Amino acid sequence: MLFENPQIATHELPSVEDVQFQRLPPQALKLRTIGWCITQGIILFILLGVFLFGEVFKKQWLWIFIFSLWALQALYFFWMARKRFFCEGYAVREKDIIHTKGYWLRTQLTVPYNRVQHVEIEQGPLARAFGLGGISVYTAGDSGGDLSISGIEYQEAERIKQFIAQKVGSDE
């Protein structure tokens, strides 16, 4: 048997820009905003506790500076959460699944079904209230090729899981 491995011209390869990514539902943005509020509330609660009961800093200007920094970082992370949300998407294709995310650092992960070990669906109490869930696709090896999409509709996650399980089962 003769081994052949012809070279492919890179300009002839299909473009990933042609993929129609599915966007996350609007409820996912609400859920992420609630998560942002909880995180910022905890940070503010800790700062207020140190301010009211701590003996560490007595200078008023320092606390004005600290709370101003907190407000700036809170606004920045709120803005970034929205930007990241609108950049996130996924595509389920015949032979693989693609997930793209990130605003400053763009990440696009493609997992072929023949590398999938198992698929899980997660749903916390807040996500359940919004009818959302997450899907995690675990791959063979330890190369960081696991894919996780949070904030998709729970029924959609179930359909994707069944589709991937069917694909993985038919490839064996």
Q: For 84-97, how does the pLDDT look when each residue is reduced to its tens digit (9 = 90+)?
A: 999 999 999 999 99
Supply the pLDDT for residue 34: 94
pLDDT at residue 143 greater than cutoff 70? no
Q: What is the three-state SS of the chain? A: CCCCCCCCCHHHCCCHHHCCCEECCHHHHHHHHHHHHHHHHHHHHHHHHHHHHCCCCCCHHHHHHHHHHHHHHHHHHHHHHHHHHHHCEEEECCCEEEEEECCCCCEEEEEEHHHEEEEEEECCHHHHHHCEEEEEEEECCCCCCCEEEEEEEHHHHHHHHHHHHHHHHHHC
Mean pLDDT over 123-127 rounds to: 94
* Entry pTM: 0.80
Mean pLDDT over 13-30 rounds to: 87
Q: For 71-86, how does the pLDDT look when each residue is reduced to its tens digit (9 = 90+)?
A: 999 999 999 999 999 9
Supply the pLDDT for residue 140: 80
